[in-house]
Chain A
Amino acid sequence: MPFREKTAWIMLLSTLGVYGVYFFAFGRAWTAGHGAGFGLFAPMVATVVALVVVQIVLFVWAAALSPSDARAPVDERERLIDLHSARAGFAALQAGVFLALVAVALGIAPALAANVLLAVMVAGEATRSIWRIAGYRLGAA
């Protein structure tokens, strides 16, 4: 698997994995009735730190496996794939933010609203990574 496709997989799986743990913990707290007291700041910061650490370790590992690929400059096809995937990710983000705003307008709890918005950002990032993987697999013509 080429290095850049590998980085897209790393982005996708690490994002889903780390935020999956966070949302699982939040979901358990919410269903147990402690959602509002879950504490937004500390778990979110811990999640972001964990994500950064996991991604750095995996990127270094991927670069060590194919150092010449990792050093190669991004070419026009890869830039095109990045542009397409950014557009898809932004579209997902826009749709998600719209739905989140509807949910806020319907009066959901602030703690839930904050987590819905976080989930929307994660979904946007996951969409971008999926689009990148599809671009590398299918071509960007």
Chain B
Amino acid sequence: MSALSNRIRWLRFEHGEMTQAELAQRIGMTRQTVAAIEQGKYSPTLEAAFRIADALGEPLEAVFQWNGDGPSARMPPQT
């Protein structure tokens, strides 16, 4: 499992219960890839991550979180 977690499923729910297929169509990916990203089985490229955040109308850091133990994980979120 990746150290990258995400809130895509929750954010889809908040955006009018957007389906995986709808999100996939908006970002030019397959539904299976969206499902794999949601489940943490696949870490998207930076470009795809930005496209997902854009489709959900959220900043990148609201969609993806890094759970590693490096400096970026210790950094408090900006307000």
Contacts and interface: CB of A to CB of B under 8 A. Distances in A.
The judgment on whether A and B are partners is yes
Interface of A: 2, 4-5, 69, 72-73, 75-78, 136, 138-141
A73 B27 CA distance: 12
Contact of A136 (B28, B32, B40, B45): B32
Nearest to A138: B41
A141 B29 contact: no
22 contacts: A2-B30, A2-B31, A4-B32, A72-B30, A73-B28, A75-B30, A76-B33, A76-B44, A76-B48, A77-B30, A77-B33, A77-B36, A77-B44, A78-B33, A136-B32, A139-B39, A139-B41, A139-B42, A141-B36, A141-B40, A141-B41, A141-B42
Instruction: Tell me the interface secondary structure of chain B in the complex.
Output: loop
Contacts of A136: 32
A140 B30 CA distance: 14
Given A2-B32, A77-B44, A140-B41, 4 more contacts: A2-B30, A76-B33, A139-B39, A141-B42
